[in-house]
Amino acid sequence: MARYILHRLLILLPVLILVSVFCFSLLHLIPGDPIDFMFSDEDLDDAETRQMLEKALGLDMPLWKQYFVWVGNAMLGDFGQSIHFERPNAELIFERFPATLLLTVAAMIVSFLIAIPAGVIAAIKRNTPTDHAAMTFALFGISIPNFWFGILLIMAFSIYFPILPSSGYEASITDPIETLKFVALPAITLGTAVAAILARMTRSEMLEEIGKEYVRTARAKGVSERMVIFKHTLKNAMVPILTLLGLQFANLLGGTVIVETVFQWPGVGSLVIDAVYGRDYPLVQALILIFAVIFVVVNFFVDVLYKWANLQIQGIYDYQDYQNVFS
């Protein structure tokens, strides 16, 4: 296991380097002068102002030196200064990050509570109306755009039946119910799409496990169907499902832009929109780097978890130990 983790870490390092090179190159891949892109003509009234801005942003240095300075500062937590907000980028990002993290966790909980029961029931009731209904829901969840589903939820639960707020966010430790009201609609919007993917995955993995020999052995030995499904079959099926959950978690952290815009959620996703509209390229650069690093690091932990879970299951469900497991 330690050897596997070391191997994954050795792979992780060049990936992070490539990610940093890509994020740094974004500024220099823009056609024309980056200064002209980030600032209006009113800000660039003379050559002296341009030179001052180039020096402040480090654009007067050779390209290779700019990269190493930028990476070095990023490793120390310095992602530069926001042009639009006139504040440190790190401060802006970590100020908004808790709201996005809360929304992501809530969406994952919603998806898990919907997907796992739906996938298990669909597998048990294969080729029945229940199975078809569950897979129709999954197809609906995958196909429907998030922004449109979010608008439908706002119309249903904020306009026609005004029981939930349509936008904004209010964190309250003393009144968590009020916080949940603000989280509910955006979390359902995000969680439904993830639930659809997880439900199909759960059904597929459960059907594969149900057809294996250890399940037939368990049934032949008189183990109850509930025990076979939930203690043995679902446990084995959860390994790839947990992997998918981890990847979806990373995707949601960096992919809440549209939903946060629809619900005016003050998270990192809405900060991306503000940065793009404000032509705040240093902030966009910092956001892309942080999202990319989070995705790569989460992917690393998911790989390690997958390997560990496989080793645990192999230890329990070795073919030679069936007699002990089901006795």
CATH for 188: 1.10.3720.10
CB-based contact 142:148 (threshold 8 Å): no
Task: Give dist(CA 90, CA 78) in Å, integer.
Answer: 7
Does 178 lie in the same domain as 146? yes
Is the pLDDT higher at 68 or at 36? 68
Does 111 lie in the same domain as 66? no
> Mean of the per-residue pLDDT values for the chain?
80
Q: Which of 11, 43, 75 is the last residue of a domain?
A: 75
Q: Is 161 a member of any domain? A: yes
Report percent pLDDT > 70 for the chain.
Answer: 82
Task: Give dist(CA 93, CA 95) in Å, integer.
Answer: 5
Sequential DSSP letters for 2-62: HHHHHHHHHHHHHHHHHHHHHHHHHHHHSSS-HHHHHS-TTT--SHHHHHHHHHHTTTTS-
Does 51 lie in the same domain as 109? no
pLDDT at 188: 92
Does 257 lie in the same domain as 194? yes
Interaxial angle between packed helices 63-75 and 2-29, expressed in degrees from 0 to 180 and rounded to the nearest 10 = 130
pLDDT digits (tens, 9 = 90+) for 271-316: 888 887 777 778 888 888 888 888 888 888 887 777 776 666 555 5
Is the pLDDT higher at 122 or at 315? 122
Average pLDDT over residues 154-166: 88
Is the pLDDT higher at 191 or at 254? 191
Q: Which of 49, 75, 101 is the last residue of a domain?
A: 75
Q: How many domains does the chain have?
A: 2
**Structural domain for 309, as ranges:** 93-325
> CA 93 from chain center: how many Å?
16
Lowest mean pLDDT across 8-17, 35-44, 58-67, 113-122: 35-44
What one-character DSSP code corresponds to residue 81?
Answer: B
Q: Is 141 a member of any domain? A: yes
pLDDT at 326: 47
Average pLDDT over residues 62-70: 81
CB-based contact 280:292 (threshold 8 Å): no
Sequential DSSP letters for 126-187: TTSHHHHHHHHHHHHHHHS-HHHHHHHHHIIIIIIS--S-SS-----SS-HHHHHHHHHHHH
**What is each CA distance from 159 to 178, 258, 263, in whole angstroms?**
18, 21, 14
Does 100 lie in the same domain as 51? no
**Closest by CA position to 186, among listed 297, 260, 92, 253:** 260
Q: Which of 45, 75, 105 is the last residue of a domain?
A: 75
Does 155 lie in the same domain as 265? yes
Is the pLDDT higher at 174 or at 176? 176
